[in-house]
Amino acid sequence: MSEKNIIVSVGGNVETAVKGEYSVDVKSVLSEAWQLTLNSRMSINLGLIGVFFFGVVVSYIASSFFGGIEIVFENPEMLQIINVIVTIAVWPFIAGIEMMGVYHAINRPTTSNMVFSFLNRGSWVALCALLTSLLISLGAQLFIIPGIILAVLLSLTVPLVVEKKMSPVQAVVLSVKSLRFKLLPLLAIYFVLFMTLISLLVPIALLVDSSLAPIGIMIFLFGLTYLAPWYYNVKGILYRDIFGVFVNRTLSEESINGELEMDNKPSSKSYTKKDSGHNGPDDTFSA
Three-state DSSP string of 161-207: HHHCCCCHHHHHHHHHHHHHHHHHHHHHHHHHHHHHHHHHHHHHHHH
Entry field: residues in the chain: 287
Pairwise CA distance, residues 218 & 271, whole Å: 42
Give the pLDDT of residue 4: 64
Report d(CA 189, CA 34) in Å as an integer.
Answer: 12
Residue 239 · residue 95 · CB < 8 Å: no
What does the pLDDT read at residue 182?
95
Chain segment 40-58, per-residue pLDDT in tens = 899 999 999 999 999 999 9
Question: Which amino acid is residue 219, in one-letter code?
Answer: I
Statement: residue 274 has pLDDT above 70: no
Whether 280 shows a pLDDT value over 50: the answer reads no
SS (HEC) of 82-124: HHHHHHHHHHHHHHHHHHHHHHHHCCCCCCHHHHHCCHHHHHH
Report residue 245 CA to chain centroid gap.
13
pLDDT at 101 over 90: yes
pLDDT digits (tens, 9 = 90+) for 135-175: 999 888 888 899 999 999 999 999 999 999 999 999 999 99
Q: What are phi and psi of 140, to 5 degrees?
A: -70, -30
**Domain parsing of the chain, residue ranges:** 3-285
Nearest to 275 by CA among 17, 9, 12: 9
pTM comes to 0.85
Per-chain mean pLDDT for the chain:
86
> For residue range 116-140, what is the model confidence (pLDDT) as tens digits?
999 999 999 999 999 999 999 988 8
Q: Which residues, at least 6 apart from 186, have a Cβ–Cβ distance to it below 8 Å?
A: 24, 152, 155, 179, 238
Lowest mean pLDDT across 86-90, 92-96, 232-236, 250-254 = 250-254
Which percentage of the chain shows pLDDT scores above 70?
85
